[in-house]
Amino acid sequence: MQVHAIALLDPVTVGQIAAGEVIERPQSIVKELVENAVDAGATRVTVVLERGGTERIEVIDDGEGIAAGELPLAVRRHATSKLLRAEDLESIATLGFRGEGLASIAAVANLELQARTAGEQVGARIVAHAESAGPVEPVAAAPGTRVIVTDLFANLPVRREYMKGASAEFTRISSWLSTFALAYPQVTFVLRHDGKDVWTMPATADPRERLAMVFGREAAAALIPLETDAARMLDGSVRGFISTPGNDRGDRRMQLLFVNGRLLRSTLLAGAWTAGYATFAMLGRQPYGVLMLDLPPEHVDPNVHPTKSDVRLRYGTQVFDAVRRAIAATLHHHAAARFADSTGATAFSAAPAGIDTSLSHVQSLFETPLGDPSDVPGGRTRVLAQLHRTYILASDGEGMLLVDQHAAHERIAYESIVERAREQAPSEPLLVPLVVELDAQQTVALERALEPLREGGLEIEAFGERTFRITATPAGYGARPFDLAGFLDDLSEEPKARTVRERVWASLACHSVTVAGERLEFDEMTTLVERLAVCMNPMHCPHGRPTMVRLTPDEIAKMFKRM
Ligand code: ADP
Ligand code: MG
């Protein structure tokens, strides 16, 4: 084996290595340039691409520009106007700060920078490539900055190979840019490709206008603004839009997050989505939307990744909690409003903020006795029949309600279990304890769940090796047989994300209530519908399935071709 002496790398190689971390593909270049434009206070940013950016990328802005004398510095590595001292790293308010965006682009491509500040009569340009830059020359230019990138990866055949086709690279850029634009509604963004205008997002005061572009029209229609009150304890703020229950996806990709204007991923906040939706989301399904966190710069450390795609948050737990509460409160109010809408009732009480407020604050929708459904339009709900021993048919005098008896009962049971657990009220002892035999796996599951089960009102004691005795059930469920084995099987199948306690409560609710196929008496159905009405989240069972659907008078009229 031949032994080489240790030698310093030449600057061109050093530059390419460093650039490799920042510039992976055309989209990374667009990102660096667009972020620079926004940092420069631009109100209009135009991105012009050829062949998905693989041939040419041009970004034009009307920001503050760069003085002619500073052009050579701008393209030098570690040259930045955004950071003077190391202490400033503690409080970064701009998107850039590493001073290596332009230098990295120049290391892997040909970079032309044209700029004019407000004070200058003409602009100036400089061309940079690898580690060298040409002379500064005058050029006719509008105030602002224009950057032209060509010969991308010309000197790096492997990187060039790595690029996907022009249309794949274009898609990547277009979707990144439209997503980024969500956080900057005051800026107009224009995208041109191969000589054609692709899209323009005019500056707007209403960020909603930009949602359809990112999420698609249909998915965007299911987004509601985040209620920010619940997060007011935060040093800073959280804004955003979240999807309503039932509108979800198989993955988390559309849970977008901006922290101080930076588009990021954060495992911590992914958890806050899950916690905030709790029982509003179907298991295994993910809500979508966008969260925008504005935190004091010194609480955020964006300097953990070269492309700045991850952050470290100081006071992460508080942020997590604030986001979770904001999401939960938004969903809760939404569910309450939907219920009031779907039953035509207006008596639904102001819903408590946050999920920790006692359920007892919610007052009955049905304080008035049930009357003739036709006399007060939209006033009262009346049970009409049971269908297939599974659904309750009801009318509110206007529309038709179809309630899933099992899902409804589950929701009611879940909320009363949660409430009872909070109040730590005693459960009801059984006159004759229920003896159950479990298999090995169920026994393990039971041991893990004993404590939360007790909080939920279920008392269980060992009675033999694998035999257990249920001595008390949650108050109100004493009369029903409790399917402990089925409950434990369920518990081991559910995904890890929810806390044991929540899972126990949801399962407990599920296994202590009426099932599909059970005949219900008229007054049982009435009680079920009435109690559903006062739930915090009446529209969904604890597993996220709908508890009811409503046919509006309009929908019924359509079925009969009356409109
Ligand atoms: P950073 O953004 O981390 O400071 P860059 O290499 O991206 O590093 O940019 C270097 C410097 O060039 C910036 O600090 C800024 O002063 C200047 N600059 C770059 N792009 C623009 C622009 N579009 N408008 C005004 N100034 C710019
Ligand atoms: Mg930059």
Band (80; pLDDT cuts 50, 70, 90) = confident
- CB 116 near ligand 1, within 6 Å: no
- For residue 192, pLDDT over 80 is answered with yes
Phi, psi of 237 (to 5 degrees): -150, 160
Tens-place pLDDT, residues 86-122: 666 666 667 877 778 999 999 999 999 999 999 999 9
- For residue 343, pLDDT over 60 is answered with no
- CB 61 near ligand 1, within 6 Å: yes
What average pLDDT score do residues 123-149 get?
95
* Nearest CA, atom 21, ligand 1: 36
Say what the pLDDT of residue 357 is.
Answer: 25
Q: 438 to each of 246, 318, 443, 474, 490, how far by Cα in Å?
A: 35, 41, 6, 21, 14
What average pLDDT score do residues 379-392 get?
85
- For residue 84, pLDDT over 90 is answered with no
What is the DSSP track for 31-100?
HHHHHHHHHTT-SEEEEEEEGGGTSEEEEEE-S----GGGHHHHTSTT--SS--SGGGGGS--SS--SS-
- CB 100 near ligand 1, within 6 Å: yes
Ranking 83-97, 144-158, 337-351, 387-401 by mean pLDDT, the lowest is 337-351
Tell me which residue of 422, 421, 403, 424 sits closest to 540, measured CA to CA.
Answer: 403
Spacing, Cα 350 to ligand 1 middle (Å): 50
Tell me which residue of 341, 333, 229 sits closest to 280, measured CA to CA.
Answer: 333
Q: 434 pairs with which residues across the strands?
A: 470
Percent of the chain clearing pLDDT 90 (strictly above): 29
3-state SS assignment for residue 272: helix
Spacing, Cα 69 to ligand 2 middle (Å): 18
- For residue 165, pLDDT over 90 is answered with no
Say what the pLDDT of residue 404 is.
Answer: 93
- CB 390 near ligand 1, within 6 Å: no
Atom of ligand 1 nearest to the CA of 103: 6
Say what the pLDDT of residue 426 is.
Answer: 57
What average pLDDT score do residues 213-230 get?
87
- What is the spatial distance between Cα 130 and Cα 213, in angstroms, rounded to a whole number? 37
- CB 508 near ligand 1, within 6 Å: no
Give the residue, 530 or 360, on which the prediction is more confident: 530
Say what the pLDDT of residue 455 is.
Answer: 76
Say what the pLDDT of residue 361 is.
Answer: 23
- What is the spatial distance between Cα 281 and Cα 538, in angstroms, rounded to a whole number? 13
Spacing, Cα 358 to ligand 2 middle (Å): 49
What average pLDDT score do residues 252-276 get?
85
Say what the pLDDT of residue 498 is.
Answer: 59
Ranking 34-43, 226-235, 368-377, 445-454 by mean pLDDT, the lowest is 368-377
3-state SS assignment for residue 190: strand
Spacing, Cα 196 to ligand 2 middle (Å): 27
Does residue 266 contact residue 311 with C-beta atoms inside 8 Å?
A: yes
Atom of ligand 1 nearest to the CA of 74: 12
Say what the pLDDT of residue 347 is.
Answer: 30
- What is the spatial distance between Cα 480 and Cα 2, in angstroms, rounded to a whole number? 82
String of b and e for 436-458 (b: at least 16 CB within 10 Å)? bebeeebbebbeebbebbbbbbb
Spacing, Cα 387 to ligand 2 middle (Å): 64
Tens-place pLDDT, residues 362-385: 222 222 222 333 333 334 678 999
Band (496; pLDDT cuts 50, 70, 90) = low
Give the residue, 359 or 137, on which the prediction is more confident: 137
Give me the residues near ligand 2 (ion), CB cutoff below 5 Å: 36, 96, 101
What average pLDDT score do residues 22-32 get?
90
Does residue 216 contact residue 175 with C-beta atoms inside 8 Å?
A: no
From the CA of 97, the nearest ligand is 1
Give the residue, 94 or 211, on which the prediction is more confident: 211
Say what the pLDDT of residue 358 is.
Answer: 23
Tens-place pLDDT, residues 548-560: 998 888 888 888 9
Tens-place pLDDT, residues 504-515: 777 777 776 766
- For residue 483, pLDDT over 70 is answered with yes
Tell me which residue of 313, 339, 292 sits closest to 532, measured CA to CA.
Answer: 339
What average pLDDT score do residues 203-209 get?
89
Spacing, Cα 74 to ligand 2 middle (Å): 10
- The three state secondary structure string of 110-134 is EEEEEEECCCCCCEEEEEEECCEEC
Say what the pLDDT of residue 510 is.
Answer: 75
Give the residue, 362 or 477, on which the prediction is more confident: 477
What is the DSSP track for 323-364?
HHHHHHHHHHHHHHHHHHHHHT---PPPPPSSSSS-GGGSPP
Atom of ligand 1 nearest to the CA of 63: 24
- For residue 180, pLDDT over 80 is answered with yes
3-state SS assignment for residue 375: coil
- What is the spatial distance between Cα 171 and Cα 457, in angstroms, rounded to a whole number? 54
Atom of ligand 1 nearest to the CA of 75: 6
Spacing, Cα 64 to ligand 1 middle (Å): 11
Give the residue, 3 or 372, on which the prediction is more confident: 3
Q: Is the dihedral of CA 270, 275, 280, 284 positive or negative?
A: positive
Tens-place pLDDT, residues 424-462: 555 777 767 778 888 888 888 888 788 878 877 788 888
